[in-house]
Amino acid sequence: MDRARYEKGGDAGSKGVGFQVDLLTMFLLNALQRISNWRLSTENKRARKFDDVVLEWPEGAILLQAKHKTKKKITMEELLSTNSKNDDFSLPKYFLSYQEIKNEFKVKNVVICTNASVHDRVLEFLDSRRISSESMLYCEDDDYSFYTFNMEILPRLKENVEIYLEKNYRNRNIDQTVINEENLKDFLKCLQVYVDYPSENCLEKVKGNGLVPTQRRNIFN
């Protein structure tokens, strides 16, 4: 594991911090078993809006944003929000952030992970995928899944990205030229959305799956 330093930022409430720590630990335990020469960071400013968990290794990087919510269903209005005060799940925001970071990292996937569920109206734009053992959020013996967005959302996403950029990115080094079909499709193919993610249950199972104690001591010594 590479112990290089990085610039740290970020702010979250206590429940959000707990959820973030759970996901960070999931990444740690899965990375120990599946990859080598990796570096794990949290609230890494280089990752912009995907800064909560950043895993880098020679083959690529996975960047994750964690969102802990109480009794919530994510709506289409939230997913397409152009309002910076209500953009926790705003795809336009995450698209623009992805444009800023994709040359900073060798990105394999960007991830939004939440304990919230999605409104039924959202499901027509989503394709369900089973979590494989290669995922850093894999929980052994459980049939959890994640979602990717299908291309049906593309026209609405493009329109709202243009609005979000105009309203919120005026003083940033990014312009309308990034909002094209190639970049939008690339973002949607790279994005994974984990909803109803049972972090505490998964964490207990992964912790009990036979991880060698000396491996853990080497990480923290």
- pLDDT tens-digit profile of 160-172? 999 999 998 876 7
Does 219 reside within a domain? no
The per-residue pLDDT for 169 is 83
Does 1 reside within a domain? no
The per-residue pLDDT for 212 is 39
Q: Across 72-221, where does the E strand assignment appear?
A: 73-74, 107-114, 117-118, 126-130, 145-149, 191-194
Does 7 reside within a domain? no
Q: How many domains does the chain have?
A: 1
Does 27 reside within a domain? yes
Does 6 reside within a domain? no
Higher-confidence residue of 199 and 211: namely 199
**Interatomic CA distance for residues 125 and 170, integer angstroms:** 30
Q: Across the chain, where does the E strand assignment appear?
A: 39-41, 53-57, 60-67, 73-74, 107-114, 117-118, 126-130, 145-149, 191-194
Does 75 reside within a domain? yes
Q: Which domain holds residue 148?
A: 14-208
- pLDDT tens-digit profile of 173-205? 788 999 999 999 999 999 999 999 987 667 776
Please, what is the average pLDDT of the chain? 86
Per the listing, tokens 């609230």 go with 43
**Interatomic CA distance for residues 185 and 191, integer angstroms:** 10
Whether residue 8 is predicted with pLDDT greater than 60 in this model: the reply is: no
- Rounded mean pLDDT, 5-15: 52
